[in-house]
Amino acid sequence: MNNYVYLSLGTNMGEREALLHEAVQMLNKKTEINVERVSSIYETDPVGYADQPPFLNIALKANTSFTPHEMLKVCLEIENTLGRKREIRWGPRTIDLDILMYNHDNIKSDSLIIPHPRMNERAFVLIPLEEIDAAIEIPETGLHYVQGREGVKLWKTADAFSYLQKQKGDHSC
């Protein structure tokens, strides 16, 4: 596996923490994906459509042999399996998996834009991303730090995902 991918995961319906864990486990069970780092869990205020419950959000870094479009397909399959319905833009959801970055690639197709076009506007993405890679440079902005933390609070530390080390060998989480 020689590609790295950063993902953002969020949920605000049902058993939120359990859904995050299940999504991470589903990713890590794929032989083509090795989840290396998972952030702490952050509870965040909704953005865009405000009349909904707060979200739990994480970021993760994985190595993969999947292409970006294959990775997108896996993310959509996980969303579907975990009951994601797309009824209201930025509305409530059981789970959301977004590809933030794939290597240093810039991709624009009908189904996929990498880097994620709104990631640098969202503290709920940048704060967990910065936690798993403090030296990360956000494409197109050059940002490598987060300025505001409004609406984002630590909910559970990253050791909530320590079981991943046992699933595929000893990798840092």
- Would residue 89 show up in a list of annotated catalytic residues for this protein? no
Q: Which of 45, 84, 105, 122 is catalytic?
A: 84
With tokens 């890679």, the residue in question is 133
Rounded Cα gap, residues 46 and 41, in angstroms? 15
In SS3 terms, 84-150 reads as CCCCCCCCCCCCEEEEEEECCCCEECCCCEECCCCHHHCHHHHHHHHHHCCCCCCCCCCCCCCCCCC
Q: Indicate if 118 belongs to the active site.
A: no
Please confirm, yes or no, whether 96 is among the known catalytic residues.
yes
Residue 122: active-site member: no
Of 96, 110, 149, 159, the active-site residue reads 96
* 53 close to 14: Cβ distance less than 8 angstroms: no
Report which residue type is found at 13: M
Check 51, 93, 122, 170 and give the catalytic one. Answer: 93
What are the catalytic residues?
Answer: 84, 93, 96, 98
